[in-house]
Structure 1
Amino acid sequence: MLTSRVPAAVDGLLTALRAAPGLDGVAVVDGPPSVNLTARKYVFVGWQPGGDIAVSLAQTFNSAGARTRDETFQIAGYIEARTGDKDMQARRREVFAILGEIETALRATNDVPDAPTLGGAVLWAHLTAGDLSQAQAEGSVAGLAFTVTCQARI
């Protein structure tokens, strides 16, 4: 019996982001970073700095009879742009441009009508939160923690 749509939704989000033409050149990573990061732009799905929670979920019965359940969950994500210069404005613009591409990947279009469903994994998914961080350390780094909220029926 299916107990959660979380695994399928995370997989669907990764698939959508890796296929998004606007994210060409951005490394889309499943989970936390590993060592030896060499790219300058990243999207981490299921991870945010300082957080141990990849996905937070809650379930309730859909109606009397306990035949189906509604599931709401939030997938943690993090965008990072870095370079060796001190141009913080450019890094900030980069992370928000990447966030815009993520939002675009979650919107239905004629070419991808099931985009908000993450390939049929959920009823809908959308961006719901974000937190910008910035640092100057051997260059400029901007990070944007974001949340994709999903609604599913199991």
Structure 2
Amino acid sequence: MLTSRVPAAVDGLLAVLRAAPGLADVTVVDGPPALNLTDRRLLFVGWQPGGETAVSLAQTFNGAGARTRDETFQIAGYIEVRAGDKDMQARRREVFAILGEIETALRATTEAPEAPTLGGAVLWAHLTAGDLSQAQAEGSIAGLAFTVTCQARI
């Protein structure tokens, strides 16, 4: 018996993001970072710095009779861009441009009608939160922790 749509939704989100033309030059990572990542434009699915939770979920019965359940969950994500210069404005604009590409990738289009459902894994998915961080350390770094909230029926 199916107990959660979380695994299929995370896989679907990764597939949608990896197929998005606007994210072709961004490295999409499943889960936490590995050591020695040298890419300057990274997008993590199921991980945020300092966070222990990849996905947070809650379920309730859909209605009387307890035949189906509604599941709501939030998938953690993080975007990081870095460069060797001190141009924080450029990093900030770049990280929000990537966030915009994520939002675009989650919208239904003629080419990707199933994008908001993450390939049929959920009823819908959308961006719902974000937190910007910035640092100067051997160059400029901007990070944006974001949340994709999903609604599913199981």
Q: TM-score range by the shorter chain?
A: over 0.9
Count the aligned residue pairs.
Answer: 154
Q: Which residue of 2 aligns with 1:89?
A: 89
User: How far does the alpha carbon of each residue in 1:92-148 deviate from its partner, in whole angstroms, 9 at most, with x for none?
Assistant: 011000000000010001111111000000000000000000000000000000000
User: Per the alignment, in what secondary structure is the counterpart of residue 52 of structure 2?
Assistant: coil
Q: Which residue of 2 aligns with 1:14?
A: 14
Q: Which residue of 2 aligns with 1:34?
A: 34
Q: Which residue of 2 aligns with 1:101?
A: 101
> Unpaired segments of 5 or more residues in structure 2?
none
In the aligned structure 2, how far is the partner of 1:44 from the partner of 1:21? 17
User: How far does the alpha carbon of each residue in 1:46-100 deviate from its partner, in whole angstroms, 9 at most, with x for none?
Assistant: 0000000000000000011110000000000000000110000000011000000
Structure 1 residues 9-88: aligned runs within 5 Å: 9-88=9-88
Name the TM-score, length of structure 1 as normaliser: 0.99
In the aligned structure 2, how far is the partner of 1:45 from the partner of 1:28? 7
Q: Which residue of 2 aligns with 1:144?
A: 144
In the aligned structure 2, how far is the partner of 1:114 from the partner of 1:31? 23
Runs of 4+ in 1 over 6 A off after TM superposition: none
**Amino acid corresponding to residue 65 of structure 2 in structure 1:** G
In the aligned structure 2, how far is the partner of 1:32 from the partner of 1:72? 22
User: Per the alignment, in what secondary structure is the counterpart of residue 3 of structure 2?
Assistant: coil
In the aligned structure 2, how far is the partner of 1:50 from the partner of 1:114? 32
**Amino acid corresponding to residue 19 of structure 2 in structure 1:** A
In the aligned structure 1, how far is the partner of 2:15 from the partner of 2:51? 23
In the aligned structure 1, how far is the partner of 2:33 from the partner of 2:132? 18
1:25 deviates by 1.1
Stretch moving more, 102-111 or 116-125: 102-111
Name the TM-score, length of structure 2 as normaliser: 0.99
